[in-house]
Amino acid sequence: MTRSLSRTAPKQGKGQGQEGTVSVAKPRPRLGVLLMALAPFLSGCGSETPKAAEETAKKPAEPAVPAAPEEFQAAATAVLGSDAQVLLFGDLAKNGKQQVLAANVVPNTPKSVVAGTVVTRAVIAENDDGKWVELMRADEHLKNQNGFLALTPLTPVSGWKLQYETNPDKGMSLYFTPLKTGSSERTLPIAVRWNPANKRYQSMDPSYKHFLNEAPTLVSPRSMLK
């Protein structure tokens, strides 16, 4: 059965007992109220405002940082843990073998007069027939397979400022500056490079022209006074 939208109501001005029919229509929502209700949905579906699009266009594109291949990242994780970062990889020594420079990088590098990346540990590893072999390590001291590198501090250090560069002929050069807590003294960096004659990473003299031999042990200052 269809219900009527009209109802019977007494008309004004007529006598008792007389009835009139008054149509009652559904109220229509006002256009302004309807648009206000739909505004959040319309703004979500629409495109960027001209101002937002302009601001987006002004932002420079972030440079793409190439990620290290999985094998190099796996090697870095194996020698320094899950938070190890790959800094360089490839034929770093120009000896025809794949190497990786990995480090535990301090997230917020403190400001210093010495440029570089602050690391607590750094390792150079080489792929030798599918097996990664550690060639050089920087932790409290600088050392390789033969011992402690020349010029490494006698007292343990908590971190290093590391700088590195590559040369198409000589390969990778590293510069380690020991961090001294609470000291404003500027320390000269220790240069480390692959020595093709000895086939290992060694430190160099301050002129960066000659390689220096390692020491099997460190002589402490107290031992020197005895």
Q: Quick one: three-class SS letters along the chain?
A: CCCCCEEEECCCCCCCCCCEEEECCCCCCCHHHHHHHHHHHHHHHCCCCHHHHHHHHHCCCCCCCCCCCHHHHHHHHHHHCCCCEEEEEECCCCCCCCEEEEEEECCCCCCCCCCCEEEEEEEEEEEECCEEEEEEEECCCEEECCEECCCCCCCCCCCEEEEEEEECCCEEEEEEEECCCCCCCCCCCEEEEEECCCCEEEEECCCCCCECCCECCCCCHHHHHC
Provide the pLDDT for residue 15.
43
The top-scoring range by mean pLDDT among 26-35, 36-45, 162-171 is: 162-171
- The answer to whether residue 199 sits within a structural domain is yes
For the cut 90, the answer to whether the pLDDT of residue 83 exceeds it is yes
- The answer to whether residue 62 sits within a structural domain is no
pLDDT digits (tens, 9 = 90+) for 172-213: 999 999 987 655 556 889 999 999 999 999 999 999 999 999
Provide the pLDDT for residue 182.
56
For the cut 60, the answer to whether the pLDDT of residue 32 exceeds it is no
Among 85, 103, 75, CA closest to 174: 103
Domain count, the chain: 1
Q: For residue 3, what pLDDT band results from cuts at 50, 70 and 90?
A: very low
- Report the first-to-last Cα separation within the chain, whole angstroms: 116
Question: Which range marks the domain in which residue 149 is found?
Answer: 70-218
- The answer to whether residue 1 sits within a structural domain is no
- The answer to whether residue 164 sits within a structural domain is yes
Q: For residue 22, what pLDDT band results from cuts at 50, 70 and 90?
A: very low
For the cut 60, the answer to whether the pLDDT of residue 26 exceeds it is no
Provide the pLDDT for residue 68.
86
- The answer to whether residue 64 sits within a structural domain is no
Q: In this structure, what token pair is assigned to residue 200?
A: 């290992």
pLDDT more than 70, % of the chain: 62
Provide the pLDDT for residue 24.
44
pTM: 0.67
pLDDT digits (tens, 9 = 90+) for 128-161: 999 999 999 999 999 999 999 999 999 999 999 9
- The answer to whether residue 4 sits within a structural domain is no
- The answer to whether residue 18 sits within a structural domain is no
Provide the pLDDT for residue 111.
63
Q: For residue 4, what pLDDT band results from cuts at 50, 70 and 90?
A: very low
- The answer to whether residue 83 sits within a structural domain is yes
